[in-house]
Structure formats: C-alpha cells, structure tokens
Amino acid sequence: MYTAPSSPHDSTTAIPPLLERRRFATQAELQAVVWWQLLEPAHRLRVAQDMMVGQVLAGELVCRTGRAPTFWFGLLEGLLKMSNDGSQGQTITFSGLVPGGWFGEGTLLKREPYRYNVQALRNSVVAVLPIDTFHWLLDHSIAFNRYIMNQLNERLGQFIAAREVERLDSPNVRVARSLAALFNPILFPVGGDKMLRITQQELAYLVGLSRQRVNEALRVLSLHGAIRVGYGGLLVSDLELLRRGTFETA
C-alpha cells in the first residue's frame, strides 16, 4: 500500500493560518480545472484573477460546521474527508474527496453555514474561488450553470448511495462501494487513471471501519479480481464489479 508522506512540521513549529498561505493559481493549475475549460475567455479571465491556491496540512480543516461560506473549494492534490459529528458524538463520514473534485456549491447557493467538516487526511493542495465570483459565474455563464447542475445531480445520487451503504451488513461491500465512489467521473474527473494513492488507515477513516477490517475487505476484493493492492496504492481492475458486486468472504 501507498505510504502517505509525513507532515513537514512538528508540534513546536508555528504554522501561519490557512488564509495566509494562499497564492494565486498558476496557469497550469487553472488548465487542470475541468470547468475552467468550459468558460468563455472573459469568464476565464475573471476566474484567473480571483482563484487562489494553498497547502492544507494533514489534520487541518478546510471548512468547519457552523462557519459562513466564503469560498467554493477544489482539491488539486491530496485527500480530504467530508464528515460531521452525530448527535451521540459519533463521526459520520459523508464522502472522501480526491483530486479533481470541487465541493460546497450547495452551501454557497443557499448562503447558509456549513453543515459538515472537510478535513485533510494528508498534506493537500486546495484551490478556492470566492463566493462572489461563484455567483457571478452563475449570472453570466450558461456553461458554468450546466456544470453546477450536473454536480448537484451527481452529488444527490452519491449521498443516496452512501445512505444505502451505511445500512449494509457486509463490510466488503461497504469498502467496495466507497472505493467506487472515488472514481465518479462527474465529481472527480481524473481521466482514465484507475490508480488510487491511499493508505489502509486513510481508507478506514473514509469507510468508518477498523484498519484490520479494511485490510481483510481489500484481500477479498483482490481475490475477486476487482482491485490489485500494490506499493503505489490501489489499482482498480474492475470498476463495475466494485459498483455492483456482492463479495463473500474468501
């Protein structure tokens, strides 16, 4: 399995606040954003002037429950977890977030406080677009509106599926469906790459199972030919099998 890089700081190092670590997005970073490619030149210029990028350290919160929305977020590198604390103090994980994904559009549309936390599971690079620019694009770009509509529709389907997975008794299927969700081509447009750089512990955080149980589930999925576990992470051999398969202990 992939070994996540350790944080480059220790507990005695003073780390500037996240907002103070931002910089403007480079041209290469802009071009890697799928929806930016859909915009007209004038709209691209506005985004290029306003989009910022910053490094989020492992364990840091990108956004926090109860805070007013100020940005639309996109993950360029790393791994994030969207979750909330249940009424009995138990953490509920809604989704993992991998590079290529943008999130928080529903909160920005309603201009309501965040109802979830988004935390970095490893050092990550996050892009932010100010809420005013987000709404300006909605007012001026038909292509951007269509992109957001597709995002919301796909997100609804993702959360319905996640609710179904929570009720499953099979940890193997829970791990399989959670992995498949990270390869959603609309929410995480990463092309045809089926390699996921993730540790067993990170996957355990996303699925809500112990590391040992995740390890056993990965062994079962591998025996069924759905994945291959290697030093670089997980290689998905059969994505459709992950999405619909029933995996018995092997």
Three-class DSSP labels, 77-101:
ECCEEEEEECCCCCEEEEEEECCCC
Q: Where in the chain is the domain with CATH 2.60.120.10?
A: 18-163
At 113-125, the pLDDT tens digits run: 999 999 999 999 9
For domain 171-244, say whether CATH 1.10.10.10 is its number: yes
Check residue 193 and give its pLDDT: 63
Fold of 18-163: Jelly Rolls (2.60.120)
Name the residue with tokens 């051999």.
237
pLDDT-derived band at 88, boundaries 50, 70, 90: low
Q: Where in the chain is the domain with CATH 1.10.10.10?
A: 171-244
At 31-59, the pLDDT tens digits run: 999 999 999 999 999 999 999 999 999 99
Name the residue with tokens 């018995």.
248
Say how far apart CA 113 and CA 66 lie, in whole Å: 5
Check residue 197 and give its pLDDT: 84
Check residue 6 and give its pLDDT: 47
